[in-house]
């Protein structure tokens, strides 16, 4: 855990926290190593936990439901990145599938442990809450772009009237 403590303290998101706050976080984190090809979570399913990537590479792939291949995208998550934020929001499907490219080690934080942090180390919990809010806003921006792209591709066909009814016009 000492190495992970050093690792966490080196991340910009956690560098301002005290020894006691980092220890409280460490008590709630679960370090896991996953074999290549392991799927940590799937698109449209609830993410099981938030993950801090300690080592290795994960592939995050999103498949658009409405824009075909044009709306698909893939990116990689590397050491130091935080993924799976939506695990901390109840009843919220994941926008992407996360797969270990090689062997990966992550520190996971469950929804229950996140809530416990509000009592044990409120500042750290607020940091995760801020990360969740910014990630939700980012996903909404992406979702709006996707809907706009779909809308543009439909104009000026008859589908527009359907879209207008659907979106409340």
Minimum distance, C-beta of residue 106 to another protein, in the bound complex (Å): 23
Q: Largest alpha-carbon pair distance within the chain?
A: 62
* Least distance in angstroms from the C-beta of 150 to another protein: 6
Question: Could you say whether residue 158 binds another protein (CB under 8 A)?
Answer: no
Size of the site for another protein (CB under 8 A): 40
Residue 140 within binding range of another protein, rule CB under 8 A: yes
Is residue 58 within 8 A of residue 108, CB to CB? The reply is: no
- Cβ-based nearer residue to another protein, 35 or 158: 158
The answer to the question of residue 10 lying near another protein (CB under 8 A) is: no
Sites for another protein among residues 52-81 (CB under 8 A): 65-66
137 part of the interface to another protein, by CB under 8 A? yes
Residue labelled with tokens 């370090």: 31
Cα–Cα dist 64/73, whole Å:
8
Ordered DSSP codes for 66-100:
SSGGGG-EEEEE-TT-EE-GGGGSTT-B-SSEEEE
What is the smallest separation between the CB atom of 32 and another protein, expressed in angstroms? 26
- Identify whether 32 is preceded by a cis peptide bond (ω within 30 of 0): no
* 4 binds another protein per the rule CB under 8 A: no
Per 3-state DSSP, what percentage of the chain is helix, strand, and coil (rounded to 5)? 45, 20, 30
111 binds another protein (CB under 8 A): no
Token pair for 15: 């560098």
Binding-site ranges for another protein (CB under 8 A): 65-66, 89, 91-93, 118, 122-123, 126, 129-130, 132-134, 136-141, 143-148, 150-152, 155, 159-160, 162-164, 166-169
């Amino acid at each position: 855990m000492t190495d992970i403590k050093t690792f966490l303290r080196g991340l910009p998101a956690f560098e301002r926290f005290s020894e006691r706050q980092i220890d409280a976080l460490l008590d709630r984190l679960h370090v896991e190593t996953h074999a290549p090809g392991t799927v940590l979570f799937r698109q449209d399913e609830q993410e099981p936990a938030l993950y801090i990537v300690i080592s290795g590479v994960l592939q995050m792939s999103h498949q658009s439901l409405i824009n075909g291949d044009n709306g698909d995208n893939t990116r990689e998550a590397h050491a130091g990145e935080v993924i799976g934020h939506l695990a901390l929001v109840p009843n919220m499907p994941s926008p992407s599938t996360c797969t270990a490219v090689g062997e990966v080690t992550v520190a996971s934080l469950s929804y229950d442990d996140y809530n416990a942090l509000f009592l044990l180390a409120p500042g750290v919990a607020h940091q995760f809450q801020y990360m969740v809010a910014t990630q939700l806003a980012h996903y909404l921006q992406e979702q709006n772009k996707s809907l706009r792209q779909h809308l543009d591709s439909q104009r000026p066909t008859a589908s527009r009237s359907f879209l207008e009814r659907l979106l409340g016009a």
